[in-house]
Amino acid sequence: MSSSTSSSHVVTDQFAYRQFPESHADTSSSYGGSKMTTTCSAFEEVCNSYIDANGGLDCLKEGYAPFCKHIFIPVTTPSGLTLCSASVNYVEVNLSNESLLLTSYEARNDKELPVLTRYFPPNSIPPTSLPSATHLDVILYSRSQILKENIDTSTPSNPNHANTPWSIVSVKPQTVDYELPMNPITAMRNALGTEYGGSGKPIDREEYMKAVEFWKKYAIVK
C-alpha cells in the first residue's frame, strides 16, 4: 500500500479504514467523523514522502505515550493534491448553542466498551460556522502496540504491519499544526486497557486536567 518512490514508514491500520473511501465504503458510510478524499494508498504515499522529505522518522512528533507519534501535514500537498475537504469537527460551547448538545453511550467498534460522549448533531450547527481544516494531525501507533491491541481484542492483524514500524490509527482535520488535547473520555478509555479497546496508558493527571479545561469549552460536531 505504500509508494515505490518513498520509504515505507507508515501503513494505514484497519481501525482508520473507515476514514477512507475506496473498498471500505461499507464501514465509512456509517462513520460520522472526518473522511479523507484520497485512497488509503495515496494517503500513505503522501505521509511516507513527507517523512522522507523532513529527515526521516526523527521528524515524528511525540504523542501521549512512547508508542504514539504524530505528523502534521497540510490539507493540500505541494503538488496540489487535496487530502481532505472536511471542516474542523468541533465548536465552542456558548449560551446560544448549549441547549443543542446531546449525550450518548458509544463505542467505536464492537471490541470497545461504550463510554459517555457529548456532541452537537451535525444539523444543529451551520456548516459555515466551522472553519475549513488547514492541517491534518496524523496519529501513529507503533507496530508493537498495534499487535498487542490486536491480540488482546482477538483482531486479525494487517500483514503490512510486519515490515512497517508505524501505523496510521486516526486522521484529524485541524486549523493548527500541533496536537490538541485528548478528549478526557478517550483518556479514560485508554486507561481501561487494551482488552476494552483502550491502549493501556494510565491517566496522567496534569494532562487530563488540561484536556478538561479545553473540552469543557468545546464539543465535537458529528
The pTM score is 0.89
pLDDT, tens digit (0-9, with 9 covering 90-100), for 10-52:
999 988 988 998 754 555 555 667 889 899 999 999 999 999 9
Residue 161, pLDDT > 80, answer no
- Residue 11: how many CB atoms within 10 A of its CB? 26
Which of 2-16, 140-154, 188-202 has the lowest average pLDDT? 2-16
User: What integer pLDDT is reported at residue 3 of this predicted model?
Assistant: 40
**Phi and psi at residue 91, in whole multiples of 5°?**
-145, 155
Co-location of 142 and 83 in the same domain:
yes
Co-location of 203 and 150 in the same domain:
no
User: Which CATH number do you get for residue 33?
Assistant: 3.30.2310.50
Co-location of 21 and 97 in the same domain:
no
User: What integer pLDDT is reported at residue 4 of this predicted model?
Assistant: 41
- Picking from 147, 162, 179, the residue at the C-terminal end of a domain is 179
Cell numbers found for residue 217: 469549552
DSSP H helical ranges for the chain: 25-28, 40-53, 143-152, 184-192, 205-215
Co-location of 83 and 98 in the same domain:
no
Cell numbers found for residue 85: 475537504
Instruction: Find the domain containing 199 and state its range.
Output: 90-129+181-222
pLDDT, tens digit (0-9, with 9 covering 90-100), for 92-125:
999 999 999 999 999 888 888 899 999 999 889 9
Hunting for cell 492483524 — which residue is that? Answer: 157
Cβ contacts of residue 202 below 8 Å, gap of 6+? Answer: 191
DSSP 8-state assignment for residue 213? H
Cβ contacts of residue 132 below 8 Å, gap of 6+? Answer: 75, 85, 86, 87, 88
